[in-house]
């Protein structure tokens, strides 16, 4: 399997990626919302351009470093879904604004004050989205009165313009049923729309209602009043998306190609991919790492450089997967896996066609 | 705190690192064993040289890519503690052997056969250590008869020379008491020594008995017959080493400098360092991330770019750690954290003195 690639290696299936990109673009069109994919999943400018060419209104980044790489590649509409704080970052943001339309999300007057100084200095207000906590309990205040008060406070700061509300229903990743996932998705949209209506009654008109992780995007997009979805993982999917019912092994587009390097016992298979390729995300949860086409091989644990898997009894013999065999592994969480590789190998129609640099890898700031 | 460094950032305390390097070198001298530190923890040639200058006999690497970087920096005695398999890697190994003494560990005749072909081709047998499973259940067969049989089988392969036995008592990381840790350390050494004696009686003399993770190295080194210890984490330590009782917050030398970017509620503190800086290793176990000097701040969860922490009731007010405050975080597992940063900032006597490139970062192959 792909003998021209040494292992471990990151392999991207371009056919799968194209289909995933097209499908989510259609979700946006059908629901008349903007699609602003989060590029943290791939960190690859060529794939961001593919998303924009397929109809995305722009992209979402978490870090300035990611946004700078994407602007270098010609992407000119960027949401920084992260509170940008401190002079070094504000200087970089100022430079970025000279070559792209940039919006920033935040949840505090402190962060807004810094952006406001930048807005005043440059004579162009910084457009911000106020983050709302719809149940993830990370950033943001709860929807309704508390967020409306925060919006009013931030809207009063010179140099910033509050253009909308933003949330990430990250708690959807813990959904235990399809019904729960749909309910979280619906609430994600409705809570923001209701809060925006409250803000409007109190004098702050908000034109952007931005929602949506990969599991919730398709359903939150259907809520009237939602204007934008920001899924990221959908381009590659992973076993978490499979577990949530929004992907199958066939729609996973980023796999780690690994080689068997040890067969210490009939049932134990040791692979050359560990957490340095797959991360510890999801470690040990059922099916957290999937071996494509090998349902009888179960990952038991990962160390940095070793993946230790177990063959089911009917397959537990040395003839199965001997040293040198190759296995394709679907990660639990695609996004941090891309952050571990400098280069991705791209396959199309089963053939290795090119390499892509993971140009925004390591953009911690 | 370190205003010249933007966050999140990796900060290495050189005073702590020097003390840790010196202490472990003394452990080796006192017990008359070789110290061969695993450089996967730091991945920085300058620190490998510091270890060698302090008395290490050489270094341990997991991957050829790490070894190549270290050889570039003049390190000329390298143990590749990983089964090297396949022609691309064997070609690289051949090149590496032209500029350094290289040994390889393995646990199968298949891997030995490839190395043997290389040994015959180059007219210089490849020195190998046979890996033994002393309880971690990763690579290797159990000590005693099963390993002795494997040693005999590998010793019969032309082009390889079995020079010793190697183990990693990784199950020591799960020790629940000091007594258990000491028992695992003692067994780690004694099991290998007894197995080597069995091999000798059957005609294969082994001169190297290589043991030792950071938690076990100090105690396994005391076992008569052990010749070499291979700790890695000791150079930086982490909260896992603190939990095991072999480090304190004061002896941790690699911290992630983070900034508070959100204070959505009186008790919640959101930091700009998540799994992209700290990994998911140890996620959620008690004290898995420690905030230096802030015992009342408890990390609740990490997402890729967010660390969400909670203040204890007595400190849960907005005056505590406002937006912009800086926090130093001790990771659960130092080694994979280094793999996430291109550059480490180095402080000495409380001042930022230089940057070091994490030159072997991302060496997956």
pLDDT of residue A284: 78
Residue B159 pLDDT > 90:
yes
Residues forming a β-bridge with B161: B127
Identify the three-state secondary structure at position A320: coil
The interface residues of chain B toward chain A in range 286-305, judged by CB-CB distance below 8 A, are 303-305
Cβ count near B202 (within 10 Å)? 12
The secondary structure of B156-218, three-state, reads: CCCCEEEEEEECCCHHHHHCCCHHHHHHHHHHHHHHHHHHHHHHHHCCCCCCEEEECCHHHHH
Residue/partner pairs of B139-147 with CB below 8 Å, 24 or more apart: B139/A261, B139/A262, B139/A264, B139/A270, B139/A306, B139/B83, B139/B107, B140/A262, B140/A264, B140/B107, B140/B167, B141/A264, B141/A265, B141/B107, B143/B191, B143/B192, B143/B194, B143/B195, B144/B191, B144/B194, B144/B195, B144/B198, B145/B198, B147/B195
Q: Of all helices (H) and strands (E), which one includes residue A103?
A: strand A101-106
Which of these, B332, B354, B329, B333, lies nearest to B344 by C-alpha position?
A: B354
The domain ranges of chain A are 14-234, 249-357
A40 interfaces chain B, CB cutoff of 8 Å: yes
pLDDT of residue A301: 96
Instruction: Please give the CATH architecture assigned to the domain spanning B15-235.
Output: Alpha-Beta Barrel (3.20)
The interface residues of chain A toward chain B in range 135-154, judged by CB-CB distance below 8 A, are 137-141
pLDDT of residue A357: 98
- Residues of chain A with C-beta less than 8 angstroms from the C-beta of B261: 82-83, 85, 111, 139
B279 interfaces chain A, CB cutoff of 8 Å: yes
| pLDDT tens digits, one per residue of B9-33 | 999 999 999 999 999 999 999 999 9
Task: Please tell me which of the candidates B85, B277, B339 has its beta carbon nearest to residue A323.
Answer: B85
- Provide the shortest C-alpha distance from residue A30 to chain B (in Å): 31
What CA–CA distance (Å, rounded) separates A109 from A166?
16
pLDDT of residue A359: 98
A170 interfaces chain B, CB cutoff of 8 Å: yes
Contact B341, A362 (CB under 8 A): yes
Place of tokens 């729309």: A193
What CA–CA distance (Å, rounded) separates A318 from A323?
9
Identify the three-state secondary structure at position B312: coil
Cβ count near A271 (within 10 Å)? 30
Angstrom distances, CA of residue A37 to CA of A27, A58, A142, A190: 12, 7, 24, 21
pLDDT of residue A62: 98
Residue A285 pLDDT > 90:
no
Angstrom distances, CA of residue A209 to CA of A35, A102, A180: 12, 16, 22
Residues B33-37, mean pLDDT to the nearest whole number: 98
- Residues of chain B with C-beta less than 8 angstroms from the C-beta of A86: 6-7, 259, 324
Residue B286 pLDDT > 90:
no
Residue B285 pLDDT > 90:
no
Task: Please give the residue of chain B at the shortest CA–CA distance from A133.
Answer: B264
Share of chain A above pLDDT 70, in %: 100
B345 interfaces chain A, CB cutoff of 8 Å: no
Identify the three-state secondary structure at position A195: helix
Residue B239 pLDDT > 90:
yes
Q: Which two tokens stand for residue B32?
A: 């008359």
B43 interfaces chain A, CB cutoff of 8 Å: no
| pLDDT tens digits, one per residue of A14-60 | 999 999 999 999 999 999 999 999 999 999 999 999 999 999 999 99
Identify the three-state secondary structure at position B337: helix
Cα angle vertex B31, ends B25, B35, to 5°? 40
Judged by CB atoms closer than 8 Å, whether chains meet at B275 and A283 is answered as no
Please report which confidence band the pLDDT of residue A286 belongs to, taking 50, 70 and 90 as the band edges.
confident
Report the relative pairing of strands A34-35 and A268-271 from DSSP bridges. Answer: unpaired
Q: Which of B91, B131, B258, B272 to mutate to test the interface with A (most CBs of A within 10 A)?
A: B272
Q: Which two tokens stand for residue A204?
A: 């702050």
B65 interfaces chain A, CB cutoff of 8 Å: no
B224 interfaces chain A, CB cutoff of 8 Å: no
| pLDDT tens digits, one per residue of A246-277 | 999 999 999 999 999 999 999 999 999 999 99
B340 interfaces chain A, CB cutoff of 8 Å: yes
Contact A277, A60 (CB under 8 A): no
Task: Please tell me which of the candidates B83, B322, B342 has its beta carbon nearest to residue A110.
Answer: B322
Judged by CB atoms closer than 8 Å, whether chains meet at B261 and A111 is answered as yes
Report the relative pairing of strands A351-357 and A228-229 from DSSP bridges. Answer: unpaired
A261 interfaces chain B, CB cutoff of 8 Å: yes
- Residues of chain B with C-beta less than 8 angstroms from the C-beta of A322: 110
pLDDT of residue A4: 95
Name the DSSP class of B38: B
Task: Please give the residue of chain A at the shortest CA–CA distance from B334.
Answer: A304
In CATH, what class is B249-357? mainly beta
- Provide the shortest C-alpha distance from residue A83 to chain B (in Å): 6
pLDDT of residue B264: 98
Angstrom distances, CA of residue B357 to CA of A262, B37, B176: 33, 19, 36
Task: Please tell me which of the candidates B6, B279, B322 has its beta carbon nearest to residue A365.
Answer: B6
- Residues of chain B with C-beta less than 8 angstroms from the C-beta of A137: 268, 308
What CA–CA distance (Å, rounded) separates B150 from B156?
10
Identify the three-state secondary structure at position A211: strand
Instruction: Please give the CATH architecture assigned to the domain spanning A14-234.
Output: Alpha-Beta Barrel (3.20)
A335 interfaces chain B, CB cutoff of 8 Å: yes
| pLDDT tens digits, one per residue of A124-178 | 999 999 999 999 999 999 999 999 999 999 999 999 999 999 999 999 999 999 9
B222 interfaces chain A, CB cutoff of 8 Å: no
| pLDDT tens digits, one per residue of A126-138 | 999 999 999 999 9
Residues B145-166, mean pLDDT to the nearest whole number: 98
Task: Please give the residue of chain B at the shortest CA–CA distance from A87.
Answer: B6
Place of tokens 């570039």: B72
- Residues of chain A with C-beta less than 8 angstroms from the C-beta of B262: 83, 106-108, 111, 139
CA dihedral for B251, B257, B259, B263, sign (positive or negative)? negative
A87 interfaces chain B, CB cutoff of 8 Å: no
Please report which confidence band the pLDDT of residue B212 belongs to, taking 50, 70 and 90 as the band edges.
confident
Angstrom distances, CA of residue B102 to CA of A317, B97, B286: 33, 6, 40
What does the mean pLDDT of chain A come to?
97
A9 interfaces chain B, CB cutoff of 8 Å: yes
Contact B318, B266 (CB under 8 A): yes
């Amino acid at each position: 399997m792909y003998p021209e690639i040494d292992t471990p290696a990151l392999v991207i299936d371009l056919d799968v990626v194209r289909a995933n990109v097209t499908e989510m673009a259609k979700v946006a069109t059908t629901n008349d919302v903007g699609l602003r994919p989060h590029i943290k999943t791939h960190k690859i400018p060529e794939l961001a351009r593919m998303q924009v060419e397929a109809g995305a209104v722009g992209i979402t980044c978490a870090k300035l470093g990611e946004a700078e790489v994407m602007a270098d590649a010609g992407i000119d509409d960027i949401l920084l879904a992260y509170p940008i704080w401190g002079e070094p970052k504000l200087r970089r943001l100022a430079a970025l604004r000279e070559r792209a339309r940039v919006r920033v999300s935040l949840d505090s007057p402190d962060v807004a004050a810094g952006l406001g100084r930048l807005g005043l200095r440059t004579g162009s207000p910084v457009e911000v989205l106020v983050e709302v906590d719809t149940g993830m309990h990370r950033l943001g205040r709860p929807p309704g009165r508390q967020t409306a008060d925060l919006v009013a406070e931030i809207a009063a700061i010179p140099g910033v313009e509050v253009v909308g509300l933003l949330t990430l229903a990250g708690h959807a990743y813990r959904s235990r049923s399809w019904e729960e996932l749909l309910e979280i998705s619906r609430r994600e949209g409705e809570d923001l729309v209701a809060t925006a209506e409250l803000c409007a009654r109190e004098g702050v008109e908000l034109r952007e209602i931005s929602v949506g992780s990969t599991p919730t995007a398709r359903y939150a997009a259907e809520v009237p009043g939602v204007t934008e979805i920001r899924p990221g993982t959908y381009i590659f999917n992973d076993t978490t998306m499979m577990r949530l019912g929004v992907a199958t092994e066939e729609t996973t587009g980023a796999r780690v190609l690994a080689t068997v390097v040890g067969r210490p016992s009939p049932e134990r298979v040791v692979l050359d991919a560990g957490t340095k390729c797959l991360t510890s995300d999801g470690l040990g949860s059922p099916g957290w790492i999937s071996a494509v086409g090998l349902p009888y091989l179960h990952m038991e644990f990962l160390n940095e450089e070793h993946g230790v898997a177990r063959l089911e009894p009917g397959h537990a013999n040395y003839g199965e997967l001997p040293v040198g065999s190759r296995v394709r592994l679907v990660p639990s969480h695609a996004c941090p896996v891309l952050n571990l590789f400098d280069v991705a190998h791209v396959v199309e129609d089963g053939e290795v066609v090119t390499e892509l640099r993971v140009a925004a890898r390591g953009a911690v700031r």
